[in-house]
């Protein structure tokens, strides 16, 4: 028998005496019996303390133990069908590591700003706990997906001289006697890397000085970005669809307990199978006009538009072939109509917004140079990027999936700030 076990494994020890180490989540008292809801970061378990099963000192802990006190509980695992886990602990002994001071987050409703100010403590609660588990599963599932498909992980730098996604959201920082930006996307570096390694992905934080306070924008978020040599826009959409389907399957398979804690309606996720609907920007515009929105051709879509379009489908919808002016300089012009670029956005169902942005990349150096000029980007800083088009240029494509928005969709979380351990927004830098 191990010295102590993690609470998630109690079903394997049914009928046996074990020790758990963790924290007091809650205490409920009633006469000759009290209940301790225990958590150790792997599960939440009810422990039953009966007067005639423990020493008097342990029984009296009902008045001295406080929420979040740290303890070791020894007891017998018994079946308890009414418990979420199906088991509870009949307590034999409790050892105390530390009696916690009065905990700021009592088990009642608190305002979101209060909870966010106490994020370092709030992470211990059931909701944040479950969301962090789902986020970690998505991250690992992403790595597994690409590693299993001949992709090589090539991470991009965080300091860069280049604006990948427009100059309005750049974080500028002093870099010795020069200036640098925090990266908005690893894509430009991935475009170089695939010429060496064919298919690559990078996975890391991205930084954007988003000045709007929306529930979909962070200033620091994580993106997984695959990039593929010899892929066109259709190959790109095929891969994006396969990737997202695989993520949903992984979460449904491995995060059942977390989704249950979050009271997520999993039926909505179970229907997410290929193929996903694919519509062009022009078709999306028709949907919006039909639903009464006044959007002119050439305008970008905002959150209400995305939600209105996604309401037409019960799966993620891919909108492709965008007016060039709505998209970044590197997207390939549609050879059939110069007004469009071969870009794609994937919009999640249930109003969770754009989870993927991707495109086929412009491989013609002259077209790229013109775009760099009209976007007022520094040609000098992009010379290295232009080299990719000078030496063995090939058709290529890629996309980026936002980890927090995808986590929010899986968990049914309304606000993206709950989908990253330490959210950074225009108004939040602490804790």
Contact residues for ligand 4AD, defined by CB under 6 A: 164-165, 185, 187, 208, 210, 217-218, 221, 223, 225, 354-359, 398-400, 402, 404-405, 416
**Burial zone of 155 (CB within 10 Å; 0-12 exposed, 13-18 middle, 19+ buried):** middle
Tell the smallest beta-carbon distance from residue 399 to ligand 4AD (Å). 5
What does the alpha-carbon distance between residue 327 and residue 185 come to, in Å, rounded to a whole number? 14
Q: Is the Cβ of residue 221 or residue 320 nearer to ligand 4AD in the bound state?
A: 221
Torsion of CA 181, 186, 190, 191, to 10 degrees: -70
Distance between CA atoms of 356 and 306, rounded to whole angstroms? 13
Looking at the Cβ atoms of 22 and 353, the one nearer to ligand 4AD is 353
Instruction: Quote the tokens at residue 102.
Output: 């009065």
The yes or no reply on residue 316 touching Mg ion (CB under 5 A) is no
Query: Cα–Cα distance between 109 and 4 in angstroms, integer?
Result: 33
Choose between 38 and 201: whose C-beta lies nearer to ligand 4AD: 201
Tokens encoding 374 = 């009209």
Give the one entry of Mg ion, ligand 4AD, none that residue 356 binds, where binding means its C-beta sits below a cut-off of 5 to 8 angstroms depending on kind. ligand 4AD
The answer to whether residue 400 forms part of the interface with Mg ion (CB under 5 A) is no
Shortest CB 159 distance to Mg ion, Å: 23
Minimum distance of Mg ion from residue 326's CB (angstroms): 9
Q: Tell me how far apart the alpha carbons of residues 191 and 330 are, in angstroms, rounded to a whole number.
A: 11
Nearer to Mg ion, 130 or 346 (CB): 346
Compute the residue count for the chain. Answer: 431
Q: Quick one: the chain helix, strand, coil %, rounded to 5? A: 35, 30, 35
Q: To the nearest whole angstrom, how small is the minimum distance from the Cβ of residue 400 to Mg ion?
A: 8
Return phi, psi of residue 371, to 5°.
Answer: -65, -40
Beta carbon of residue 18, minimum distance to Mg ion (angstroms, whole number): 50
Strand segments (E) across 64-182: 70-79, 87-98, 152-153, 159-160, 172-175, 178-182
Count of chain residues binding Mg ion (CB under 5 A) = 1
233 to 252, contacts with Mg ion by CB under 5 A? Answer: none
Nearer to ligand 4AD by Cβ, of 94 and 240: the residue is 240
Shortest CB 184 distance to ligand 4AD, Å: 6
Per CB under 5 A, 357 contacts Mg ion: yes
Residue nearer to ligand 4AD on the CB measure, 74 or 200: 200
- Where does this chain bind Mg ion (CB under 5 A)? 357
């Amino acid at each position: 028998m191990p010295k102590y076990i993690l609470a998630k494994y109690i079903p394997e020890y049914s009928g046996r005496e074990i020790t758990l180490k963790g924290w007091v989540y809650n205490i409920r008292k009633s006469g000759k019996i009290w209940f301790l809801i225990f958590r150790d970061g792997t599960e939440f378990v009810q422990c039953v303390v009966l007067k005639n099963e423990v020493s008097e000192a342990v029984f009296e802990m009902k008045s001295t133990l406080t929420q979040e006190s740290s303890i070791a509980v020894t007891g017998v695992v018994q079946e308890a069908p009414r418990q979420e886990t199906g088991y509870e602990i009949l307590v034999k002994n409790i050892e105390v590591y530390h009696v916690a001071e009065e905990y700021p987050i009592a088990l009642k409703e608190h305002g979101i700003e209060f909870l966010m100010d106490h994020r370092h403590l709030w992470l211990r609660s059931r909701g944040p706990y479950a969301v962090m588990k789902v986020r970690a599963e998505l991250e690992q599932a992403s790595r597994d997906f690409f590693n299993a498909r001949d992709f090589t992980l090539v991470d991009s730098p965080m300091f860069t001289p280049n604006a990948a996604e427009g100059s309005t959201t750049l974080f500028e920082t002093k870099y010795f006697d020069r200036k640098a930006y925090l990266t908005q996307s690893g894509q430009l570096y991935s475009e170089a890397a695939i010429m060496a390694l064919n298919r690559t992905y990078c996975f890391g934080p991205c930084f954007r000085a988003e000045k709007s306070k929306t529930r979909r924008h962070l200033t620091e978020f994580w993106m997984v970005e695959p990039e593929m040599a010899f892929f066109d826009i259709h190959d790109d959409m095929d891969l994006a669809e396969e990737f997202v389907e695989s993520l949903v399957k992984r979460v449904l398979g491995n995060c059942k307990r977390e989704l249950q804690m979050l009271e997520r309606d999993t039926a909505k996720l179970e229907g997410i199978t290929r193929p996903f609907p694919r519509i062009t920007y022009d078709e999306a515009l028709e949907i919006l006009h039909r639903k009464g929105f006044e959007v002119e051709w050439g305008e970008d879509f905002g959150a209400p538009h995305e939600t209105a379009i996604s309401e037409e489908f019960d799966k993620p919808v891919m909108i492709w072939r965008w007016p060039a002016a709505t998209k970044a300089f590197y997207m390939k012009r549609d050879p059939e109509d110069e007004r469009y670029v071969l870009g794609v956005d994937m919009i999640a169902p249930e109003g969770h917004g754009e989870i993927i942005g991707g495109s086929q990349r412009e491989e013609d150096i002259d077209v790229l140079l013109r775009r760099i000029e009209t976007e007022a980007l520094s040609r000098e800083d992009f010379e290295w990027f232009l080299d990719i088009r000078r030496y063995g240029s090939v058709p290529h494509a890629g996309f980026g999936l936002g980890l927090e928005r995808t986590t929010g969709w899986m968990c049914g979380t309304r606000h993206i700030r709950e989908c990253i351990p330490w959210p950074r927004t225009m108004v939040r830098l602490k804790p």
